[in-house]
């Protein structure tokens, strides 16, 4: 009997690493994709592929090597915490945020969609609670994730009848390397109040391993808007109230875990 197959992007660390590892423990074959080396040498059921998700040709070539193999799960998880302010970020910074956080998941879905349809599989795309909230700072991250969410809402209607189950994962704080990776890759990420707050919250956040188990345990009953942290709901309601009644963006980040 053929084992279930999963694709996970952003698999070298954080949520992607935890999802890949937990899936392998559940007897699922995993294709783990990341631009950095994936630490899976001792897990034979995981096949690591090292390339940037912005490389559509590489993604398509990998998908073609699995032609005829239905895909049960796709976790389009890769993303970056892009630095900079609205005017202070360069054109290159804005383009990179768009390419990784918005176009990367879109290209991943395009390349693997035939495999998902063949299995009647499940696609889970990691956006963020940041796509739903307002707060000072992180405009590139928030804008690119909000665009991703809007695109997935459209895809939800377009894919009706395809047999594929689509979910947009909107986590709050989960312990990962996303901020450390952003600091390492960009000299433009200067210390500020938001970054300091995020780093402190990250140290106390839910470990990625626990979050991955929670996600996989809830996959069978997951909604399209998958809000994994309770406080996100109250913060969203605060934003919506301000939109309707106050006419200006409220600060909702302080309400997040």
pLDDT at 137 > cutoff 90: no
What pLDDT is recorded for position 254?
Answer: 62
Is 243 a domain residue? no
Report CA 89 to chain centroid distance, whole Å.
22
Q: What's the pLDDT band for 20 if we cut at 50, 70, 90?
A: very high
Is 252 a domain residue? no
What pLDDT is recorded for position 161?
Answer: 96
Is 102 a domain residue? yes
179 phi/psi in degrees, rounded to 5? -75, -45
Name the residue range of residue 127's domain.
Answer: 5-230
63 phi/psi in degrees, rounded to 5? -60, -35
What pLDDT is recorded for position 195?
Answer: 64
| Number of structural domains in the chain | 1
How many CB atoms lie under 10 A from the CB of residue 114?
A: 12
The CATH number given to whatever domain includes residue 122 is 3.40.50.720
Q: Check if the beta carbon of residue 167 is closer than 8 Å to that of residue 122.
A: yes
Is 203 a domain residue? yes
Is 247 a domain residue? no
Where would I find the H helices in the chain? 14-25, 56-65, 91-98, 104-119, 139-158, 178-185, 193-204, 208-217, 231-241
Q: Check if the beta carbon of residue 238 is closer than 8 Å to that of residue 252.
A: yes
What pLDDT is recorded for position 87?
Answer: 96
Largest CA distance in the chain: 58
Is 256 a domain residue? no
Over residues 138-147, the pLDDT tens digits come to 899 999 999 9
pLDDT at 168 > cutoff 80: yes
How many CB atoms lie under 10 A from the CB of residue 161?
A: 6
Is 23 a domain residue? yes
């Amino acid at each position: 009997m053929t084992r279930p197959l999963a694709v996970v992007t952003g698999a070298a660390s954080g949520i992607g690493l935890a999802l890949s590892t937990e899936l392998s423990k559940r007897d699922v074959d995993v294709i783990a994709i990341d631009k950095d080396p994936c630490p899976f040498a001792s897990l034979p059921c995981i096949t690591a592929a090292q390339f940037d998700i912005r490389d559509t040709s590489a993604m398509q070539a990998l998908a073609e090597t699995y032609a005829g193999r239905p895909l049960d799960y796709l976790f389009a998880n890769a993303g970056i915490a892009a630095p900079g302010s609205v005017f202070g970020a360069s054109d290159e910074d804005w383009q990179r945020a768009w390419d990784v956080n918005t176009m990367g998941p879109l290209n991943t879905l395009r390349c693997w969609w035939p495999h998902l349809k063949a299995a009647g599989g499940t696609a889970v795309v990691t956006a963020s609670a940041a796509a739903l909230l307002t707060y000072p700072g992180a405009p590139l991250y928030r804008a690119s994730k909000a665009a991703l969410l809007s695109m997935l809402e459209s895809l939800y209607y377009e894919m009706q009848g395809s047999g594929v189950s689509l979910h947009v994962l909107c986590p709050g704080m989960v312990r990962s390397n996303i901020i450390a990776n952003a600091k390492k890759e960009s000299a433009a990420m200067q210390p500020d109040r938001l970054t300091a707050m995020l780093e402190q919250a990250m140290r106390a956040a839910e470990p990625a391993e626990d979050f991955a188990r929670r996600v996989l345990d809830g996959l069978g009953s997951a909604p399209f808007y998958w809000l994994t942290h309770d406080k996100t709901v109250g913060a969203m309601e605060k934003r919506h109230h301000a939109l309707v009644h106050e006419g200006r963006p409220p600060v909702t980040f302080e309400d997040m875990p």
